[in-house]
Amino acid sequence: MRERGLSLRWLGSTRRSWSRRLSGALGASAAAAALTGCLYGFAGGGLPNIKTVAIQPFDNQTPMPQLTTEVNEAIRQAFESRLGLRQAGEQTADALVRGRIVQYQADVPLAFVPGQGQAPVTRRQVQVTVDVEVLDQRQGKTIWQRQGLTVLGDYQPPAEADGRKQALDKLVAEIVEGAQSQW
């Protein structure tokens, strides 16, 4: 009986000891992770030395005047939300975005229903082509540029605006990712 009581006591103390070691190791791991986590922070994907941006109205070589506003607004929102940059005047901004809208096609057939006579189009595409440049005004150099950047957005007729929004989202993603890749 005594032997059994001793072994149960030994087993209980071993469990407590093992439990204390495990919780100590877990605590140390958690503390290390917390300290490591404190060293890393998110700056909104921002860029070193670039805190402000000016976006010049894109020259528009298409018959759609509202496209200038839509492109500029989409780029402005992306640079603020994805890169954490504040808007500034052209003279004081760290970076400058400028470009031109070269082409806009809203009625590119994508899918149709085959049949005799006329074939009804079930999907269409919007195609937007731009030339764009992002400049670091402090260092006087081009950060990123692309000539003939073409993006597509598909839509179901007559919802051309949906296709245009999709194309602009892709355009902004290309510009932001391109600029970030050079920082």
pLDDT tens, position by position, 143-157: 999 999 999 999 998
Query: Does a cis peptide bond (omega within 30 degrees of 0) precede residue 65?
Result: no
Tens digit of pLDDT for each residue in 77-119?
A: 999 999 999 999 999 999 999 999 999 999 887 665 666 666 6
Tell me the domain boundaries of the chain: 1-41, 52-182
Most confident of 13-27, 43-57, 105-119: 43-57
CB 176 within 8 A of CB 80: no
Measured at the CA of 106, the angle between CA 101 and CA 109, to 5 degrees, comes to 135
CATH number of 52-182: 3.40.50.10610
pTM of the model: 0.69
Residue 34, C-beta contacts closer than 8 angstroms, at least 6 positions apart: none
Residue 34 buriedness (CB in 10 A; 0-12 / 13-18 / 19+): exposed
